[in-house]
Chain A
Amino acid sequence: MRLRSLTAVTAVIALMVAACDDGNGGVDLGDAGEDDPAIEDGTDDVDDEAEPAAEGGTLRAAIGGDPDQLDAHTTTSSFAFTVLENVYDTLVQPGEDLTMEPALAESWETSEDLLTWTFTLREGVTFHDGSELDAGDVVASFERIAEEGDNAFRLEAVEEFNAPDELTVELVLNRPAPNLLEQIGPFKGMAIAPAEAIEAGTMQDDPIGTGPFEFVSFSPGDSVTLERFDDYWGGDVALDGIEFQVVPDEGTKLTSLQTGEVDWIDSVPPEQVEELGADDQIELDQVAGNDYWYIALNQDREPFDDPAVRRAIAFALDIDVITEAARFDAATPNETAIPETSFWYHDYEPYGHDPDQARQLLEDAGVTDLTVDLMVTNEFPETVTFAQVMEAQLGEVGIDVQIRTEDFTTWLADQGDGEFDAFGLSWLGNIDPDDYYYAQHHSEGSFNFHGFADPETDELLDSARVETDEDDRKELYDQAAERIVDLASYIYLYNPDIVQAWSPDVQGYTTRPDQATRFVDTSLAS
Chain B
Amino acid sequence: MARFVLRRTAQSLVALLGVSIVVFALIHLVPGDPIRAALGTRFDPEVYELLRERSGLDQPLVVQYVDWLGRAVQGDLGVSFRSGAPVTTVLAARIPPTAVLAVASLVVGIVVAIPAGIIAAVRQGKAADYLATGFSQVGVSIPDFWYGIMLILIFSVTLGWLPPLGYTEFGEDPVDFARRLILPAVTAGVVTGAILTRFVRSSVLEALNADHVRLARAKGLPERYILRHHVLRNAWIPIVTVTGLQLGTLLGGIVIVEVVFAWPGLGRLALDAVERRDYPVLQGAVLFMAGAFLVINLLVDLLYAKLDPRIAVR
Contact = CB atoms under 8 A, between A and B. Distances in A.
A69 B85 contact: yes
B90 interface: yes
B166 interface: yes
B275 A407 contact: yes
Interface string B251-263: 0000000011110
Contacts of A222: 97, 166-167, 262, 264
A409 B163 contact: no
Interface in B224-260: 259-260
B152 A248 contact: no
B83 A220 contact: yes
A255 B157 contact: yes
A57 interface: no
A334 B136 CA distance: 54
B152 A149 contact: no
A259 B259 contact: no
Contacts of B264: 219-222, 246
A204 B275 contact: no
A152 B42 CA distance: 11
A476 interface: no
Given A76-B40, A248-B268, A409-B276, A219 B93 contact: yes
Interface residues of A, number: 43
Interface in A129-182: 149-150, 152-153
A221 B156 CA distance: 22
Contacts of B83: 68-69, 204, 220
A114 B100 CA distance: 62
A258 interface: yes
B152 A446 contact: no
A381 to B, nearest CB: 14
A490 to B, nearest CB: 13
A416 interface: yes
B294 to A, nearest CB: 25
A247 B165 contact: yes
Contacts of B165: 245, 247, 252, 255-256, 261
B277 A409 contact: yes
B47 interface: yes
A66 B276 CA distance: 12
Interface stretch (B31-39, B186-194, B203-211, B296-304): B31-39
Interface in A230-251: 245-249, 251
A520 to B, nearest CB: 26
B33 A259 contact: no
Interface string B22-35: 00000000111110
Contacts of A248: 259, 262, 268
A348 interface: no
B56 interface: no
A71 B85 CA distance: 11
A252 B38 contact: no
A409 B268 contact: no
A322 B93 CA distance: 43
Given A149-B44, A408-B37, A446-B43, A255 B32 contact: no
Given A69-B85, A76-B38, A409-B36, A249 B260 contact: yes
Contact of A68 (B31, B42, B82): B82
B41 A412 contact: yes
Interface string A396-419: 000000000001111111011000
Given A66-B272, A149-B47, A249-B259, A412 B156 contact: no
A413 B33 contact: yes
Nearest to A204: B84
**Which residue, of B42, B82, B261, has the highest number of chain A Cβ atoms within 10 A?**
B42
Contacts of B265: 221
B93 A221 contact: yes
Nearest to A70: B83
Contacts of B261: 252
Contact of B43 (A255, A379, A408, A412): A412
Given A220-B83, A222-B167, A252-B152, A412 B262 contact: no
A449 B85 CA distance: 32
Contacts of B38: 76
A249 B40 CA distance: 22
B90 A150 contact: no
Nearest to B82: A68
A413 B269 CA distance: 22
A217 to B, nearest CB: 11
B50 interface: yes
A427 interface: yes
A287 interface: no
A220 B93 contact: yes
Contacts of B41: 412, 415, 425, 427, 447
A204 B79 CA distance: 13
A412 B48 CA distance: 13
Nearest to B145: A249
A149 B37 CA distance: 15
A276 B31 CA distance: 40
Contact of A149 (B31, B50, B269): B50
Given A252-B260, A252-B262, A409-B275, 20 more contacts: A69-B82, A150-B39, A204-B85, A220-B85, A221-B264, A221-B265, A221-B269, A222-B97, A222-B167, A246-B264, A247-B262, A256-B163, A256-B165, A258-B157, A259-B157, A259-B160, A261-B164, A409-B277, A410-B31, A413-B33
29 contacts: A66-B272, A69-B82, A74-B84, A76-B39, A76-B42, A149-B44, A153-B44, A219-B264, A220-B93, A221-B265, A221-B272, A222-B264, A245-B262, A246-B262, A248-B268, A256-B164, A256-B165, A259-B160, A259-B164, A261-B164, A379-B275, A408-B275, A409-B275, A410-B31, A412-B32, A412-B36, A413-B32, A413-B36, A446-B43
Interface of A: 66, 68-69, 71, 74, 76, 149-150, 152-153, 204, 219-223, 245-249, 251-252, 255-256, 258-259, 261, 379, 407-413, 415-416, 425, 427, 446-447, 449
3 pairs of A and B residues whose beta carbons are closest in the complex: A409-B32, A222-B264, A221-B264
